[in-house]
Amino acid sequence: MALLEIRRISRQFGDTKAVDDVSLSIEAGEFFTLVGPSGCGKTTLLRLIAGFEEPDAGELLLDGRPLTGIPPEKRPVHTVFQSYALFPHMSVAQNIAFPLQMAGTASDEVRRRVDEALELVHLAEKTRHFPHELSGGQRQRVALARALVNKPRLLLLDEPMAALDAKLRQQITGELIALQRAVGITFVFVTHSQEEALAVSHRIAVMNAGRIEQVGVPDQIYGYPQNRFVADFIGTVNLLPVEVRAADQGGLRMFAAGLGEIAGAPATATAVGQRGVLALRPEQVRVLAGSERQEMDNHFRGTVHDYLYLGDVTVYKIALDNGSVIESLLANSLPGRARFLERGDAVEVGWQREAGVYLRD
């Protein structure tokens, strides 16, 4: 049985359906991520789980028991807020002791558990400090310790990285994974950043306009997006408009106007004559050198239109003969060599039939 079962819940604010008929099940011990653009309903979904909102329809089951009508303080669910919401008039230790005291834990037990929690987030020396004396990263760790100290069944994290700078974010992402593994508590993490989602999660649910677009493990979400929204929101993608010419066990034959035939992997529920797009990740599009051409299932001529140097990689924008521009990612593996191609170079690009994902309109 799933730890948290979300059954067809909806929540509406005025005319906007913030959460629209969402069903999900989250397993015990999972690091589950809700990702989507701002306003997609992921925070509302989190607030429904925490108990700050009640659903208009549908129900939530935790350990098989319905959560309907149970106020937030009675739910074994704790939250790390985006602003961390540390109590400014309490020291670090007092903040962490708060949930234990509310649960009526004996005072020597409180002390022991607070020390344990501080140890867990490496803040043992900050016990007596107040929140305003801590850095952003330290505050976040106090918020984590406070939310974890009473061993909730479920920990909700509402964009906990939003207030941190990029470098720190990367470091803390790593710490978060280790922490979840150490405590074994189920995490439900909300973020708008697809990189964070891919890095930390066991499973990801991509949300858009109150609905769930796709649920899956990170490489499934990235490698096999089910629709244009997911393909576009997770990572960067080239979308080539195509028409299906043939579909069988051997694969898909597509036609792109001005380019010709494209071979693709077999796809389900595809009919001849259907229109759609071929979604190709930039790192799957190769710039071909001489002999590589024979090995590629698809290859087309083009011109280097522009490039974007990013340090570790360079993104080349290549204009194909039919005018569409596709991106190709090349690792800058040779030191001192910022790019291999110049604007205006005539090149040939190619990809294997397994590379692309066909998405119907």
Residue 235 one-letter amino acid? G
Candidates 69, 88, 290, 323: give the one binding other proteins (CB under 8 A). Answer: 88
Closer to other proteins at the Cβ: 64 or 71? 71
- Binding part of the chain for other proteins, among 146-154, 198-206, 227-235, 248-256 by CB under 8 A, reads 146-154
Residue 124 in the binding site for other proteins (CB under 8 A):
no
Task: Select from 273, 254, 274, 275 the least CA-distant residue to 353.
Answer: 254
Candidates 17, 21, 58, 81: give the one binding other proteins (CB under 8 A). Answer: 81
| Residue 62 CB, nearest approach to other proteins (Å) | 15
- Binding part of the chain for other proteins, among 1-9, 77-85, 186-194, 196-204 by CB under 8 A, reads 77-85
8 A C-beta contact, residue 80 and residue 160 = yes
Spell 297-329 as b/e; 16+ CB within 10 A means b.
bbebebbbbebeeeeeebbbbbebeeebebbbb
| Residue 256 CB, nearest approach to other proteins (Å) | 50
| Residue 144 CB, nearest approach to other proteins (Å) | 13
Residue 103 in the binding site for other proteins (CB under 8 A):
yes
Closer to other proteins at the Cβ: 14 or 184? 14
- Distance CA(272)–CA(270), nearest Å, equals 7
Closer to other proteins at the Cβ: 121 or 330? 121
Residue 87 in the binding site for other proteins (CB under 8 A):
yes
Residue 140 in the binding site for other proteins (CB under 8 A):
no
Q: Is 232 helix (H, G, I), strand (E, B) or coil?
A: helix
8 A C-beta contact, residue 131 and residue 89 = no
Task: Select from 232, 270, 228, 231 the least CA-distant residue to 253.
Answer: 270
8 A C-beta contact, residue 190 and residue 156 = yes
Candidates 1, 38, 89, 294: give the one binding other proteins (CB under 8 A). Answer: 89
8 A C-beta contact, residue 350 and residue 292 = yes
Residue numbers at the binding site for other proteins (CB under 8 A): 50-52, 71-73, 77-79, 81-83, 85, 87-89, 98-99, 102-103, 146-147, 150
